[in-house]
Structure 1
Amino acid sequence: MSSQLSPAVTLHNVTYEWPDGSVALDSVSGTFLPGRTGLIGRNGSGKSTLLRLIAGELSPTDGTITRIGDVAYLPQTLTLNTATTVADLLGITNTIAALQAIEQGDVAEHHFDTIGDDWDIETRAMEQLHSVGLSNIALHRSTNTLSGGQVMIAALTGLRLRTAPITLLDEPTNNLDRSTRRHLYRYIENWPGTLVVVSHDPALLEIMGTTTELRAGTLTTFGGPYSAWSDDLAAQQAAAEQAARTAKNALKVEKKQRIEAETQLARRAAQGRKASTSMPPIIAGGFKRKAEATAGATRQLMDSRIASAKMAVEAAQSLLRDDEAIHLTLPDPDVPRSRRIAQLHDAHQTIHVQGPERVALVGPNGVGKTRFLQHLVHRTEPMPGGATGELLIDRVGYLPQRLMALEDNLSALDNIAPYAPHMTVGELRNQCARLLLRGDTVLRPVGSLSGGERFRVHLARLLFAQPPAQLLILDEPTNNLDMDTVTQLVDALSEYRGALLVVSHDDGVLDRLGITMTVEMTSGGGLRVMQ
């Protein structure tokens, strides 16, 4: 049935170049149909750039984009902007200002135009916030006092209030706890109009009706959710691997037959030379020319068959995916098991972190986990009545939830270099390449990088430091990362011999990190060691 629907978004040979001339997308064509579509692809493939083009934030260098109506857009970098209010996130600031102006006696016509039919917008907004568990958050509240998850769900609520024909969501489950994710899934299952979601969350991708992959500048659409797409891809890759093996074996056979043919031709030539000694020169010359012609035809046939076999191998191998992987080997920070690393306090107890322990800090959105980590790392004031703590070592690496510390106008290389003064530029570029930050990517302004690439820049600053950190504090470290990269990062961190303090809502990640202690932060500011 979906094949009969008219596209909501059509891209025709869309190319986008960054101001420095590097190409982000090259002649991309495709469509997005009404309904729910999961847009997937490796980090750096151009998914976020594509959404910004569809939303109108960027203009194509070449090509055209056609839309059936207005576009509402939730960016991946939403939580980086802290100079906003809840009303800004909901998109109702101007409407509320117009309502307040009228209440104060200003009856200018433009206020009524701004309000339209939304005279009850404040009531509806608060009802929507209440429905997603944000009932005690005022509309004028600054977003820098909210958790990343609260910011995300409030912005999603604003998009739902707007009801645009086309909605684009870039990594909407970043920072969301389990309960809030369930709210989001229910939200999305009933989302009106066209919805395009960039995500690496398998559960979210599973409620999409269509899966579209952006890979090597090509959009490919599959009529089903992520698991069906993944199964189909696995079957295709298995068939391609079998075809590649068959083609390689066929090439070996052709090469072997070529050698055998050359051997036969050499024998015949030797026999011909021996026989020609007893023949008249004219007859011997005729036999020689005929033998050479036969040999030439045989070689041409064999060469043609080898060339065809090589083309078959190349065609089969072109269908195989050879995705690049992060290769991290973390240095040993030499943390004795008897060494006290940190102390975490609440009103009733002190929790000791000792040696290379791996501690997970868990709890619902808004309980104060991120603020607690900031208190630990930067010695900021703790939440009133909340948990406190202190670090007992100096060599600490901190990866914040909101990756705000980067200089967006500087290149990735310039952002990393001050943190690794012991490395030459060549060494630094080699190490960056192990994080898949290679070529022109390390020279581009950080502001033009994808969320996953920005994360790698932060990770490089953390991991390239000398001496290496004895404690890594990671706040939602897998945000914005594709699933393959998450696996590679977790594999590397699982081999890290220092201490870890991790905030994550992904149970799979915590399990694979080998967490030795889980500490739950409660809404009253307490800490509870979970069994």
Structure 2
Amino acid sequence: MRASLSVTDLSFAWPDGSPVFSGLDLGIGPGRHGLVGLNGSGKSTLLRLIAGELTPQGGTIGVDGAVAHLPQDPGAEPSQTVAEVLGIAGTLAALARVEGGSTTVEDFDAIGDRWDIAERTEAGLSRLGLGHLGLDRTVASVSGGELVLLSLVARLLTRPSVLLLDEPTNNLDAAARDRLIDIVASWKGTLLVVSHDRQLLNAMDDIGSLRGGSVRWYGGGYDDYEAAVAVEQEAAERAVRAAESDLRAQKRDRIEAESVLATRRKQGEKAWAEKRMPKIAMGNYKRRAQVSAGKLRGVHDDRIEDATARLAEAEELVHDDREIRVDLPDTVVPGGRDVLTLDGVRPAYGELTIDLAVRGPERIGLTGANGTGKTSLLRTITGELEPADGAVRAYVPLRYLPQRMDLLDGTLTVAENVARIAPSTTENERRAQLARFLFRGRAADQPASTLSGGERLRATLACLLLAEPAPQLLLLDEPTNNLDLPSIRHLVEALESYRGAFIVVSHDERFLDDLELTRRIDV
């Protein structure tokens, strides 16, 4: 299976006029290609453009073969069955009718060339550890990680030549991540993966860095990319220091030249006052001095201008990767204070039953395989779901960050969403807080529907922390999903500075280790 993908002179902007790409060129052949970049740089938008889900304003996109796209949040109606998510319900029904004797053209058209769909589906589900899921099971009883894998199986069943994956390891436990990476490692067509998962990115043949509307490629996996960028950045920073030194030297020379000119001017003024030479000669001398001074100033001005330009060019090569800068509200929970108790709580979905007492500013990590009920437990703590058994008691204000980040109203701007949940705050207070989450100036006026995955998380987190009353207990469900690596590092710092309690569900082992949790609970 051979495939190629090309993007030529691509231009795209959102309906409000916000530009994303202008003249983007991209070309990749068969192999495994990773795509990285800061949140909001356009990675997910690029995949949607290639998949035909968005229409560019200019340029061309060429794909050799069929395309399948797995978005960050595949989404599905809770009432849908596994077969419907896989896109095979109609085909299976037609097969059943044909096996029962039907000879209608409609049934044969519904089957097409997919006579082996049942066998391929069984093999695909088994390969990703989903063999236990019945085809008539509803999405409401499936975990977020299982839904991601189901959606991947659905794409693989279409036998694409070009596969586009957007943060495919989100919500996956360690075993599921390993299975997905096995599929990636054995992929024979063209694969383009947007991810912040180091393990997955290290399985790539090369890494593309999307920055400033263009893509630069680096051979090898993420570790190789990071090493190459470190060397480039060290050289770029040296160039900046050299350019700064040259600019300072040129400015010093300009000052010294002005000092020389000032001395000459004083000498000329003294000679004029003492009438030490004829008037005509004095006039000629003055004109020559003015011309000479003008030339000298021009030379130094040109040198300063050149040095300034070289500094600007050098600075452009240095990555200024902005990070989330969170100033969390003062939500101190004294040591020993009761925050939350769970007495024999069994969520409506999943298999776990748990007793838990949270006191003081504890930070607790909740881990376990997909489908055990971790997300259902968090929803039970918030009161969104009734427990199948047991009792939940929360003693402080709490806020919940769900996996799907569906707290924002897509018809409102980022600033309007914050105003909706914190009506007593002033416009300046909201803008100041949003700036710490990188929504500065016009960025705070973006409609929530146009935000990237990482931007949605930042906006949602800002809303939670500005909510009234301010939370003393945070419930975080896979908070690193869709965040770039610099933002993950700063999110760790932000949570370390938070003085309330939190419970975090995550499969990101590095993230959990960095949090220095009070305790970890494996369910």
TM-score range, shorter chain: over 0.9
Counterpart secondary structure, 1:78: coil
User: Structure 1 residues 488 and 282, CA, compared in 2 at 3 Å: closer, same or farther?
Assistant: same
- TM-score by structure 1 length? 0.91
Give 1:247 shift: 1.0
Give 1:509 shift: 1.6
CA deviations over 1:20-64 (Å, ceiling 9, x no partner): 333233332222222111111111111111111100111112221
Counterpart secondary structure, 2:157: helix
1:100 — aligned with what? 96
Give 1:389 shift: 4.9
Q: Is structure 2 residue 113 aligned with structure 1 residue 125?
A: no
**1:513 aligned residue (507, 511, 515):** 515
Query: Contact (CA 8 Å) 2:44, 2:166: kept in 1 or not?
Result: yes
Size of the aligned set, in residue pairs, is 513
Query: Contact (CA 8 Å) 2:360, 2:500: kept in 1 or not?
Result: yes
CA deviations over 1:2-36 (Å, ceiling 9, x no partner): xxxx9822112222222333323333222222211
Q: Is structure 2 residue 477 aligned with structure 1 residue 475?
A: yes
**1:466 aligned residue (458, 465, 468):** 468
Give 1:460 shift: 1.9
Give 1:146 shift: 0.6
**2:490 aligned residue (460, 476, 488):** 488
Report the Cα distance in structure 1 between the residues aligned to 2:16 and 2:67, rounded to whole angstroms. 28
Q: Match for 1:478: what amino acid? A: T
Q: Is structure 2 residue 194 aligned with structure 1 residue 198?
A: yes
Q: Is structure 2 residue 358 aligned with structure 1 residue 353?
A: yes
1:336 — aligned with what? 334
1:527 — aligned with what? none
Root-mean-square deviation over aligned CA pairs: 2.2
Q: Is structure 2 residue 372 aligned with structure 1 residue 374?
A: no
Q: Match for 2:415: what amino acid? A: L
Report the Cα distance in structure 1 between the residues aligned to 2:417 and 2:309, rounded to whole angstroms. 45
Query: Contact (CA 8 Å) 1:494, 1:512: kept in 2 or not?
Result: no
Report the Cα distance in structure 2 between the residues aligned to 1:451 and 1:57, rounded to whole angstroms. 16
Bigger mean CA deviation after superposition, 177-186 or 502-511: 502-511
Q: Is structure 2 residue 27 aligned with structure 1 residue 31?
A: yes
User: Structure 1 residues 9 and 439, CA, compared in 2 at 3 Å: closer, same or farther?
Assistant: farther
Q: Match for 2:422: what amino acid? A: A
Unaligned runs of 5+ in 2: 346-352
**1:8 aligned residue (4, 9, 16):** 4
User: Structure 1 residues 293 and 488, CA, compared in 2 at 3 Å: closer, same or farther?
Assistant: same
CA deviations over 1:217-236 (Å, ceiling 9, x no partner): 12222232222222111111
1:402 — aligned with what? 404
- TM-score by structure 2 length? 0.92
% same residue: 44
Q: Is structure 2 residue 323 aligned with structure 1 residue 325?
A: yes
Give 1:274 shift: 4.2
Query: Contact (CA 8 Å) 1:80, 1:402: kept in 2 or not?
Result: no
Alignment of 1:24-423 (within 5 A): 24-79=20-75, 81-275=77-271, 277-346=275-344, 350-378=355-383, 380-382=385-387, 388-423=390-425
Counterpart secondary structure, 2:207: strand
Report the Cα distance in structure 1 between the residues aligned to 2:112 and 2:393, rounded to whole angstroms. 55
Give 1:477 shift: 0.9
2:451 — aligned with what? 449
Query: Contact (CA 8 Å) 2:332, 2:361: kept in 1 or not?
Result: no
Give 1:87 shift: 2.1
CA deviations over 1:310-359 (Å, ceiling 9, x no partner): 11111111212223222211122232222122223449984321111111
Bigger mean CA deviation after superposition, 46-55 or 459-468: 459-468
Query: Contact (CA 8 Å) 1:7, 1:32: kept in 2 or not?
Result: no
User: Structure 1 residues 270 and 342, CA, compared in 2 at 3 Å: closer, same or farther?
Assistant: closer
Report the Cα distance in structure 2 between the residues aligned to 1:7 and 1:303, rounded to whole angstroms. 55
Report the Cα distance in structure 2 between the residues aligned to 1:184 and 1:481, rounded to whole angstroms. 20
Give 1:418 shift: 2.2
Query: Contact (CA 8 Å) 1:471, 1:499: kept in 2 or not?
Result: yes
Give 1:169 shift: 0.5
Query: Contact (CA 8 Å) 1:90, 1:157: kept in 2 or not?
Result: yes
Report the Cα distance in structure 2 between the residues aligned to 1:441 and 1:292, rounded to whole angstroms. 51
Report the Cα distance in structure 2 between the residues aligned to 1:77 and 1:173, rounded to whole angstroms. 11
Query: Contact (CA 8 Å) 2:327, 2:433: kept in 1 or not?
Result: no
2:501 — aligned with what? 499
